[in-house]
């Protein structure tokens, strides 16, 4: 069964947080200082951050409103200066800005002038990065099924600030059980490989039973088309949060790493918003228990593939990098040495 609309997890979560008044957004009320622990070396990079223009924000609001009733949510825009302020206050050197231009390619809303707006949003992200080329890199966003997808990859390859492409399969309604979609995705990966671009992929689709079967289609038919480029699987293979779909997806990917090491050599995970700091439960013991359970699953996952296969990321503006790192140090059931190993990696596209 397919969900009728599937706003990316980030935004569903954002909505929930905005509604609950617990928004983690800069300027929100989630800013209470935490005690800093002395073993707290900052991660070298936040590998999963977003900025968006007013146009992309409006697109997001329309996507969130599709199929829902009530007042549209109030969402601010975000730019590179805000990202830099967050990184500086966290002591984090590098930031990876993932364009959400694929909003405009979502089949849920018929966006006028889609292609031009995709280009404009991607160019805006590149301009933010161009202000801080030693600290930031850009990924262009695109729906890989769009007829202009390969053109966006080519534009990325010819843009100094752009190191790769961000794909969001649920937002783009790519179905890994649909042979035609798999073929188009494979062709997109092949082209990205030729252009030497990295890929960040939100792999979870709209299938409610998303899991092994979908991951195997990706591993067997898509990945071999681009054997030499870094592939960052966002949110540990899921949709953010360690729910049952994330577990199915992660387990299938981890199995593939054992069974097809040559295919999985350049594949790694970002932890963007998967572990959830207990402080966010705000004393609600039922929520705290849920977060603890997710975090135990997350710790198991890290131990299974090894901390070098997982890079730090926040899904900013969903979480603020300094605060998120600090709170995870206090919440995760990992040793200080394990957390150091987990946090200290840098994706190959940042070398």
Q: Which helix (H) or strand (E) holds 97?
A: strand 94-98
| Closer of 139 and 343 to Zn ion (Cβ) | 139
Question: Coil, strand, or helix at residue 30?
Answer: coil
Report d(CA 136, CA 94) in Å as an integer: 6
Q: How far is the CB of 289 from Zn ion (least distance, A)?
A: 26
Q: How far is the CB of 98 from Zn ion (least distance, A)?
A: 6
Q: How far is the CB of 49 from Zn ion (least distance, A)?
A: 8
Q: How far is the CB of 48 from Zn ion (least distance, A)?
A: 5
Query: Angle CA(205)–CA(198)–CA(52) in degrees, nearest 5?
Result: 65
| Closer of 51 and 182 to Zn ion (Cβ) | 51
| Closer of 139 and 210 to Zn ion (Cβ) | 139
Q: Which residues bind Zn ion (CB under 5 A)?
A: 10, 315
Q: How far is the CB of 58 from Zn ion (least distance, A)?
A: 18
| Closer of 60 and 153 to Zn ion (Cβ) | 60
Q: How far is the CB of 262 from Zn ion (least distance, A)?
A: 29
Report d(CA 179, CA 297) in Å as an integer: 32
| Closer of 10 and 231 to Zn ion (Cβ) | 10
Q: From the CB of residue 115, how many other CB atoms can be counted at a distance below 10 Å?
A: 16
Tell me if 348 sits within 8 A of 97, measured CB to CB: no
| Closer of 102 and 343 to Zn ion (Cβ) | 102
Q: How far is the CB of 15 from Zn ion (least distance, A)?
A: 14
| Closer of 152 and 315 to Zn ion (Cβ) | 315
Q: How far is the CB of 17 from Zn ion (least distance, A)?
A: 14
Burial of 8 (0-12, 13-18, 19+ CB in 10 A): buried
107 φψ region: left (φ > 0), alpha (ψ -120 to 50), beta (else): alpha
| Closer of 111 and 316 to Zn ion (Cβ) | 316
Rg of the chain over all Cα atoms, to the nearest angstrom: 19
Q: What is the largest CA-CA distance in the chain?
A: 53
Q: How far is the CB of 20 from Zn ion (least distance, A)?
A: 20
Half-sphere exposure of 237 (CA within 13 A, CB side): 31
| Closer of 25 and 225 to Zn ion (Cβ) | 25
Burial of 335 (0-12, 13-18, 19+ CB in 10 A): exposed
Burial of 120 (0-12, 13-18, 19+ CB in 10 A): middle
Which of 160, 156, 161, 158 has its CA nearest to residue 141?
156
Residue nearest to Zn ion (CB): 315
Residues 6 or more apart whose Cβ sits within 8 Å of residue 281:
287, 288, 290, 291
């Amino acid at each position: 069964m397919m969900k009728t609309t599937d706003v990316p997890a980030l935004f569903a979560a954002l909505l929930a947080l905005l509604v609950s008044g617990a928004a983690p957004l800069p300027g929100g009320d989630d800013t209470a200082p935490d005690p800093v622990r002395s073993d707290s070396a900052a991660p070298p990079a936040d590998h999963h951050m977003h900025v968006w223009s007013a146009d992309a924000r409006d697109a997001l609001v329309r996507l969130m409103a599709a199929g829902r009733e009530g007042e549209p949510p109030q969402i601010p825009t975000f730019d590179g200066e805000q990202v830099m302020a967050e990184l500086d206050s966290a002591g984090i050197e590098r930031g990876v800005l993932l364009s959400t231009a694929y909003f405009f390619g979502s089949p849920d809303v018929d966006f006028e002038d889609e292609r031009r707006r995709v280009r404009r949003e991607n160019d805006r992200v590149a301009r933010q990065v161009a202000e801080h080329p030693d600290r930031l890199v850009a990924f262009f966003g695109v729906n890989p099924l769009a007829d202009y997808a390969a053109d966006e990859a080519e534009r990325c390859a010819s843009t100094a600030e752009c190191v790769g492409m961000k794909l969001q399969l649920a937002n783009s309604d790519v179905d890994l059980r649909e042979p035609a979609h798999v073929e188009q995705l494979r062709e997109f990966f092949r082209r990205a490989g030729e252009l030497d671009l990295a890929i960040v992929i939100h792999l979870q689709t709209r299938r409610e039973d998303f899991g092994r079967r979908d991951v195997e289609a990706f591993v067997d038919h898509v990945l071999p088309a681009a054997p030499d480029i870094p592939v960052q699987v966002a949110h540990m293979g899921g949709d953010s949060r360690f729910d049952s779909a994330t577990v199915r997806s992660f387990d299938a990917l981890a199995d593939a790493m054992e069974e097809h090491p040559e295919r999985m050599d350049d594949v790694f995970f970002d932890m963007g918003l998967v572990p959830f700091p207990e402080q966010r439960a705000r004393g609600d013991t039922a929520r705290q228990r849920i977060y603890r359970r997710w975090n135990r699953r997350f710790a198991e996952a890290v131990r299974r593939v090894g901390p070098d296969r997982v890079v730090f990321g926040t899904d900013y503006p969903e979480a603020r990098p300094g605060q998120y790192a600090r709170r995870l140090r206090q919440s995760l059931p990992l040793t200080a040495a394990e957390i150091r190993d987990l946090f200290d990696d840098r994706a190959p596209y940042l070398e």
